[in-house]
Chain A
Amino acid sequence: MVFNSFQFFGFFACLIVLYGFLKEKQRVYALLAFSIAFFLSFGSFWALFYILFTAASAYLCTLGMEKEGCSEKGRKALLTLCLLSNFGILGVVKYFNFFAGGISSALNRNFTAVSFIIPVGISFYTFQMMGYAIDVYRKIAVPQKNFLKLFLFASYFPQMIDGPISRYNDISEKLYHPAPVEYERCRDALILFAWGLFKKICVADNVKAFVDLVFGDFSDGHGIIIFSGAVAYAVYIYADFSGCIDMARGISSYFGIKLKNNFERPYFAASVEEFWRKWHITLSLWFRDYLFYPLLRSKGFTGLGRILKKKGFKKASKAIPTIIALVIVWLTTGLWHGASLTFVMWGLYYGFFMILGVLRDTLVKKRSKQDGRFLHLSKVLLTFMIVCLGYILFNSASLESAVSMYRNLFDIKHFAEIGRIYSLGVCFYKRVGGMIYFIVTVASVLVMSLYDLAMELGYDTLNWIRKRHWIVKYVFSVGATFLLLFMMNRSAGDFTYMRF
């Protein structure tokens, strides 16, 4: 059951009612029981064995590493076994058909895709648990001796759908000592949940109708049509993903467990590097700490740097290993999102821009002056264009359709097909459900955008509302509740990042 469903509301209501009567130790096990129930609500009972295996292998591996007499070689071997088995399972269930299909195609052989049971959140919980195992190996984290507590870390239900990918040290203290109900914290938690729900059901689910039209019936459109689809996708994916994360953070905050925010107003970034410091933050940090840094610190990469430095290429000794590592990281990032060439190319698309950044920093002396307002705004718009162009790849069913859309986008002759643009507008108006829903969609996009703009400029809108007269707050709360219930009636859309 997804967060934006009446079933989940009932589930959460039962949990918070029970939670209020429990002592601290009991609260931990209540969270575990409800997490298992939440996990099972998504599919087959057998999927539970996947997450049990991941938790059990991490549990045994980390306890083994800390056993007295376990040598450094032994610790490494245990970690390697744990990583290979878990990433192996992830690789098989997510990528077997992609790679086997590709090889069969290259060899001109027939291939029948294998159907696997794919548990919800496998990409998220596998990365989270392998991060835990690596942190224990690095002696950053102390292994958890209670298996049920470790299983709670693996299966904690607010994170199950779309993350965020937590670090064990960041949340374990609060996870194993969930806070008692306290009015202000719980009120703020529900407000955050409601904000995420608003983004999901008022923005994302409605804007998706426009995106589906452009990438479907209007995919042979040109110029403005394709461009508007790309921008709409940017709005949709942000509202969908950040909406889910806000709901997850709100739910978790109710229990006093603070989850990391995955988004810091990414569309206001002035460079691609900055965008990836503000978008899907926990995934970027995971790849940085568990892939990028280990690659650069490995014997191969440091050796390469040393050789280049000896030959007199001081700048290249830093730049070239970094560039190679970036290609590997961005290839993996693309693959993480899915078993498809479009995702691989999307990952390499960003790898290309990151590499341009490295070359720029290597070859061009940095300006000491801060950017003026106009230059900063231009950089923000340019970055947003790059991101939107990338979404065409991200959302296309195949490389061929993506290439076709790019070709059509830059078809200057047919850039503004007024008739088709009007048709698109009418189709969207009908598809979204008529006048009321069209107004709700436009207004919601504006509210979400203006809220983020206000935050970016340093105005805390929520705090401003809190300081108004109680009648204003009451009307606002009642209005928001009615809007959400009204929109909930027609929406139980899944989250895009669930499929990863």
Chain B
Amino acid sequence: MDRTEIFDRLTNVFRDVFDDDTLEICDSTTANDIEDWDSLSHISLLTSVEDEFGVKFDMKAVVSLKNVGEMVDLIEKSV
């Protein structure tokens, strides 16, 4: 799976979790860029990403992921 495909599928996950069909993400997107991405929705988001890609994030990833780019890197390594 290449990075572009991961991004496409990840965009759909973000749009579903945050209920916004117009949402666009990129490598540098952080929680500060998406209004509803807070600590309450963070776990839902990660769970949805895990379900979509069949990966499992450890607690280091849960608390340390700085942006979408790092999330994509982790997915790339795991699939």
Residue numbers of A with Cβ under 8 A of B are 138-140, 273, 277, 288-289, 292-294, 296-297, 302, 305, 318, 322, 354, 357-358, 361, 365-366, 368
Contacts and interface: CB of A to CB of B under 8 A. Distances in A.
Contact of B59 (A293, A305, A365): A293
B64 A296 contact: no
B63 A289 contact: yes
Nearest to B36: A366
B40 A297 contact: no
Contacts of A138: 58-60, 63
B56 to A, nearest CB: 10
A302 B63 CA distance: 17
Contacts of B41: 361
Query: Looking at chain B, what size class is its interface with the partner chain?
Result: 10 to 19
Given A305-B47, A366-B19, A293 B63 contact: yes
B39 interface: yes
A140 B60 contact: yes
B43 A139 contact: no
A289 B43 CA distance: 11
B62 interface: yes
A305 B41 CA distance: 14
A218 to B, nearest CB: 39
Contacts of B63: 138, 140, 289, 293
Given A140-B64, A365-B19, A297 B36 contact: no
B38 interface: yes
Interface in B23-71: 36, 38-44, 47, 58-60, 62-64
5 contacts: A140-B64, A297-B59, A302-B47, A354-B40, A358-B40
A296 B47 CA distance: 10
A273 B38 contact: yes
A361 B43 contact: no
B39 A294 contact: no
Contacts of A361: 36, 40-41
A322 B38 CA distance: 13
B66 to A, nearest CB: 12
Contacts of A366: 19, 36
The binding surface of chain A is classed by DSSP as helix
Contacts of A358: 40
A297 B62 contact: yes
Interface of B: 19-20, 36, 38-44, 47, 58-60, 62-64
A293 B47 CA distance: 12
Instruction: Tell which of A292, A296, A357, A361 has the most Cβ of chain B within 10 Å.
Output: A296
A293 B61 CA distance: 11
A305 B40 CA distance: 14
Instruction: Tell which of B19, B39, B64 has the most Cβ of chain A within 10 Å.
Output: B39
Nearest to A318: B44
Contacts of A289: 63
Nearest to A288: B39
Contact of A293 (B19, B38, B62): B62
A296 B19 CA distance: 21
B43 A297 contact: yes
A134 to B, nearest CB: 8
A273 B36 CA distance: 11
B60 A296 contact: no
Given A297-B62, A366-B19, 20 more contacts: A138-B59, A138-B60, A138-B63, A139-B60, A140-B64, A273-B40, A277-B38, A288-B39, A289-B63, A292-B39, A293-B43, A293-B59, A293-B62, A293-B63, A296-B43, A297-B43, A302-B47, A354-B40, A361-B40, A361-B41
A297 B39 CA distance: 13
Contacts of B39: 288, 292-293
A405 B52 CA distance: 52
A308 to B, nearest CB: 13
Nearest to A325: B43
A293 B60 CA distance: 11
Contacts of A294: 59
A75 to B, nearest CB: 13
Contacts of A368: 20
A277 B20 CA distance: 24
Nearest to B38: A273
A140 B59 CA distance: 9
A289 B44 CA distance: 15
Contacts of A288: 39
A138 B58 CA distance: 8
Q: Top 3 A-B pairs ranked by shortest CB distance?
A: A296-B43, A138-B60, A289-B63
A338 to B, nearest CB: 24
B35 to A, nearest CB: 8
A297 B60 CA distance: 12
Contacts of B44: 318, 322
Instruction: Tell which of A140, A277, A358 has the most Cβ of chain B within 10 Å.
Output: A140
Contacts of B60: 138-140
